Amino acid sequence: MSVTAERVTVPLADAPDDLATLAFGHGVDRLSLTACPGLGHLLEADLGTPGPVLRSAAGRVDVDYPHLGVLRRAHPSSISLDSRVTWTIEVSGGAHDVDADLTTARLAALRFAGGVTGLALVLDAPDGPTTVEADWLDDATIRRPRGVDVRVEVSGHARGLTVDGRHLGHASELALQSAFYNEAAPGYLIRLGQAIAVNVEVL
């Protein structure tokens, strides 16, 4: 399926193995992302104006906006994902003002290529080891359920990074983790290139 539209529904039949990927190929601005049990569709989306080109095949949904950021920021987007499906979410080209409440989502991985400015991310307890990656984060809060372990790795520079109450003003090439984090057990590995004003905490 390939459409250019503001409002789109993708059927569950497009993900026969209960595995799906949502990919933004040219960035996204002002995105509200939620997961919904029993949605009845693979996803439902209100993608704003001008509408993007959306392609769906074999469990992969690609969303490509045809214009640059000024137009996208003027019209927010909202997407609801069916939480019975295990999702990989990929954003290339950067993101701005992303509000992602994934408290009922089954998440395999979340990747931001190009970085994110303004991220509010709420995660559910994962089924296994799960990775969240970003080239850089600026002004971000990542929350997870109590009892879910986390490891935060920053390969470059960090300024104003807080992980479960431990605050770092300035640092480089660092790793912080909760006491019982095990890379083979259910938990979150957060890999960042750079981190500015990032808070990782429990709900």
What is the tens place of the pLDDT at every residue in 75-89? 688 999 999 999 999
Residue 29 Cα to chain centre, angstroms: 13
Domain containing 133 equals: 116-203
Question: Which residues, 6 or more positions from 67, have their beta carbon under 8 angstroms from its beta carbon?
Answer: 50
- Please check whether residue 117 is in contact with residue 157, taking contact to mean a CB–CB distance below 8 angstroms: no
71 with 136, same domain: the answer is no
* Tens digit of each residue's pLDDT (9 = 90 or more) over 43-78: 999 887 767 888 998 899 999 876 655 444 566 889
Same domain, 175 and 159: yes
Q: Cα(58)–Cα(157) distance, rounded to whole angstroms?
A: 39
One domain, residues 99 and 162: no
Task: Give the model's pLDDT for residue 108.
Answer: 97
Q: Do residues 90 and 19 share a domain?
A: yes
Quick one: 64 and 2 in the same domain?
yes
The verdict on 129 and 100 lying in the same domain is: no
Last residue of a domain, one of 114, 138, 156: 114
The pLDDT tens digits of the residues spanning 91-112 come to: 998 999 999 999 999 999 999 9
pLDDT over threshold 90, residue 126: yes
Position 74 scores a pLDDT of: 60
From residue 9, alpha-carbon distances to 48, 95, 107, 120, 193 in Å are: 14, 23, 20, 25, 34
- Asked if residue 156 and residue 85 are part of one domain, the reply reads no
pTM of the model: 0.92
- Residue where a domain terminates, one of 114, 141, 165: 114
Q: How many domains does the chain have?
A: 2
